[in-house]
Chain A
Amino acid sequence: MADPEVIRILHVEDDPHDRELVGATLRQDGLSASIVAVATRDEFEAVLGGETFDVILADDRLPAFDGLTAQRIAAERAPTVPFMFVSGTLGEETAVERIKNGAVDYILKQRLARLPGSIRRAIAEARTRSDHARAEIEVRRLNAALEERVLERTAQLAEANRALAEREHALRASESRLNAILDNSPALICMKDADGRYLFVNQQFERVLGVSRTDVVGRTDHQLFPPRLADMYRANDVEALARRSAISVEEPAVHGNDVHVYASAKFPLLGSDGEPYAICAISTDITGRKLAEDEIKAARLEAERANRAKSDFLSRMSHDLRTPLNAVLGFAQLLATDRMSDEQLECVRQILKGGEHLLDLINEVLDIARIEAGHLSLSPEPVEVHEIVSHAASLVAPLARQRQIMVTVSESPLARISVVADRQRLVQILLNLLSNAVKYNRDVGTVSIGFERSSDSMLRINVTDTGTGISPQKLRLLFRPFERLGAETTAIEGTGLGLTLSRGLAEAMGGSIGVVSRPGSGSTFWVELRTVNELPVDRTHLADQGAIEYRLGRPATVLYIEDNLSNVRLMERVLGRRPSVTLATAPDGRRGVMQALARRPDVVLLDLHLPDIPGEEVLKQLKAEPLLCDTPVVVLSADATPGQVRRLLASGAAAYLTKPFAIPDVLAMIDRMLHLRSQAAPVIEESDRRE
């Protein structure tokens, strides 16, 4: 038997022969061994501390050491290494005692042949022991690890249980919260599966529709509601399901005998696969709102009707009053051209002034009414401030001169700025402010017009007087209609509407108006308007509108279609200034068209208010006649709206004149029409002109 490994042996022996004998015995037996021999305690301890051995052999009695001590030391230092006595002298009793103390064997030197077998056995036993020990340690270690894992797992389970309980609690809380919300919602909330069977309804649903949850769940709309309603509900559900997103619809519902309208939000509930598994609806009763909307709509229609009636009334009033005033002014103008005494002329001037004042009163009220109704028509354009202010100043100059009041316009570069305004309306505002500044000034006072920028985009025109000023209490009343602050008892003329109207006009143009006053030293009225940068004012077309007098002696006919005899008389007198022109007249539309066909006039003057057909209709009929379609038609009216004027011009009217007209304007218009016609004539009579 050959041991593959080298057995490491510590041999406690002082006799070299004995050492050799042991070595030889082992070699002879085929045991390969490395033997370290020691003889003293010091050597023994030193070797034991430095190396490991498979077996320790010890002589029992040495001169400097003894086996018993060696056994004790080895038991301490290397307890697992088998310890064996090899001695020649040990008695049986001692041997038993040594083995009791832990030695594995006791071999007499005389019977050394037993040694190799004993060593092998001892080593094998030691190995087994050591394996056992290792196994035991391993088992212990495994047990400990297992225990640890069990503890760990137990803790984990406990944690998991706790989390689960917590989650369950949270879930229950969330569910009860959700239920509380659903059941206390004033909206009807329900949930149905994809096939339309109810899964849930809230308390409001039960209460309002008079059903109980248990009756509803599991049923469909068709089992619960009238067929047409059920069809509609289902159609809406299907649409939301198909879209996979929320829809908003209005749905009627029956409560007892009433029909209510609901605004419903319907949305599908999507599963983790993205497929809808249910449809949810939240419905709010909007019946009240619908009714209110209907009422508002009705009220708005009524208001519009009333407004229309009001503006019709205003329009009628304006016409009814302006027609006679037109006559007064027309005839007074004619009278003024007669030869008469200064005293008589003064009377005529009083009549003219009265007539103009009356027109102001009517026009201003109408303008204010139009502004309020939002019907005021403006033509905003860039207007150079200096130009328009100078124009307005020149218009009040005569009035100012009478009282030796000086009117000055600042030469500030700001005056070269243009503002956005309706030219005519801005002149109206400025005239109002300037004439007030003159009227309420002291004699030999001044009116100064200045400019300032009130913001980046606004320019302010200041009109400052040297009058007595206005107390703060009275300032508030200034812009009220008919508020003349006591001036009605003085000789100062005015309608009491000027500032009210000016404010309305300024605001309609996107501007504003105001006043600053220092009692005792004067007031500054200002108007503020939006500025523009460019100046695209092309006024060349206005230049050729100057009177082109029709001087040809060629006879011409003017047909005047007008029902008011005063107006007809006036026109007769006006055209008396053009002896070559014959005036034909017709008192209504039907006869107007007949006369036009019979007499083929050169110009038709057409009043808009005729007793039989509206003037607009007459215009269309004239334009529809092949013989008359080239005849210029001038429309005369006291109250055409800008929209109406545009329509008339589009329908073929050659021009439009506002009543009351100034006599020179009428003559200029007729001259121009006849002149244009005489220029057009050669086209027809071309052969006569050929040379």
Chain B
Amino acid sequence: MSDKLLSNARWRHDLKNQLGIVLGFSELLLQDAPPNGSAHLDLQEILKAAQQAMKLVESLEELDEPVA
């Protein structure tokens, strides 16, 4: 079942959804952050990490296709 769970579309959908929320709010905050402040740097880190996670989730989908 764990294979099914990992390849479960809803699970991936939920992951992407939540990552979307993280990305959205981070971008929103980034617009207001002073360019050279520490918050700006922190937000960039958050965005970078969330994008990386998003890529991983998408790569899981590709991994899934030949099996299906």
Contacts and interface: CB of A to CB of B under 8 A. Distances in A.
A361 B60 CA distance: 15
B46 A331 contact: yes
Interface in A292-310: 310
Contacts of A482: 8, 10-11
Most buried by B among A320, A335, A340, A497: A335
Contacts of A165: none
Contact of B38 (A338, A481, A497, A566): A338
A505 to B, nearest CB: 15
Given A328-B46, A335-B43, A482-B11, A372 B18 contact: no
Interface in A323-370: 323-328, 331-332, 334-335, 338, 340, 344, 347-348, 350-351, 353-355, 357-358, 361-362, 365, 368-369
Interface in A606-659: none
Interface in B9-38: 10-11, 14-15, 18-19, 21-22, 25-26, 28-29, 32, 38
Given A325-B53, A331-B45, A566-B49, A481 B18 contact: no
Interface string B34-57: 000011011101101110110011
A149 interface: no
A344 B31 CA distance: 11
B48 A566 contact: yes
A321 B29 contact: no
B5 A365 contact: yes
B32 A344 contact: yes
Contacts of A570: 45
Contact of B3 (A310, A351, A355): A310
Given A324-B50, A324-B53, A361 B19 contact: no
Contacts of A583: none
Contact of B29 (A335, A353, A496): A335
Interface residues on A, range: 35 or more
Most buried by B among A325, A326, A372: A325
Contact of A331 (B10, B14, B43): B43
A351 B32 contact: no
Contacts of A353: 21
A270 to B, nearest CB: 60
A358 B42 contact: no
Contact of B14 (A313, A323, A368, A495): A495
Nearest to B28: A347
B2 A365 contact: yes
Contacts of A351: 21-22, 25-26, 29, 46
B1 A372 contact: yes
Contacts of A135: none
Contacts of A365: 2, 5-6, 11
Given A327-B45, A569-B45, A354 B19 contact: yes
Most buried by A among B5, B14, B21, B49: B49
A365 B15 CA distance: 12
A481 B11 CA distance: 10
B8 A324 contact: no
Nearest to B60: A317
B14 A350 contact: no
B10 A335 contact: no
A317 to B, nearest CB: 7
A373 interface: yes
Contacts of A332: 42, 46
A358 B53 contact: yes
A314 interface: yes
A540 B42 CA distance: 39
A358 B18 contact: yes
A121 B28 CA distance: 171
A317 B6 contact: yes
A347 B2 contact: no
Most buried by A among B18, B41, B50: B18
Given A324-B49, A368-B1, A566-B49, A348 B29 contact: yes
A310 B50 CA distance: 25
Most buried by A among B11, B19, B46, B52: B46
Nearest to A350: B25
A354 B48 contact: no
A373 B53 CA distance: 26
Contacts of A331: 42-43, 45-46, 49
Contact of A361 (B18, B22, B25): B18
A373 B49 contact: no
Contacts of A310: 2-3
Given A310-B3, A481-B1, A355 B45 contact: no
Contact of B42 (A313, A323, A335, A355): A335
Contacts of A372: 1-2
Contacts of B2: 310, 314, 365, 368-369, 372-373
Contacts of B32: 344
Most buried by B among A313, A332, A355, A358: A358
Nearest to A314: B2
A609 to B, nearest CB: 15
Given A310-B2, A331-B42, A357 B25 contact: no
Contact of B5 (A326, A358, A368, A573): A368
Given A310-B2, A344-B29, A321 B56 contact: yes
A350 B24 CA distance: 10
A393 B34 CA distance: 42
Contact of A369 (B5, B19, B22, B26): B5
Nearest to B29: A347
A327 B49 contact: yes
Contact of B18 (A320, A354, A573): A354
Nearest to A338: B39
Contacts of B18: 354-355, 357-358, 361
B19 A358 contact: yes
A538 to B, nearest CB: 36
Contacts of A354: 18-19, 21-22, 25
Contact of B56 (A320, A335, A340, A344): A320
A495 B5 CA distance: 12
A372 B21 CA distance: 31
Given A321-B56, A357-B18, A566-B49, A334 B42 contact: yes
A569 to B, nearest CB: 6
12 contacts: A313-B6, A314-B6, A326-B49, A328-B53, A331-B43, A348-B29, A354-B21, A361-B11, A368-B1, A369-B6, A372-B1, A482-B11
Closest 10 pairs (CB-CB, A-B): A369-B2, A324-B49, A327-B49, A354-B21, A354-B22, A324-B53, A331-B42, A324-B52, A347-B25, A350-B25
Given A373-B2, A569-B41, 12 more contacts: A321-B56, A325-B53, A331-B45, A347-B25, A354-B19, A354-B22, A355-B18, A361-B11, A365-B11, A369-B1, A372-B1, A496-B10
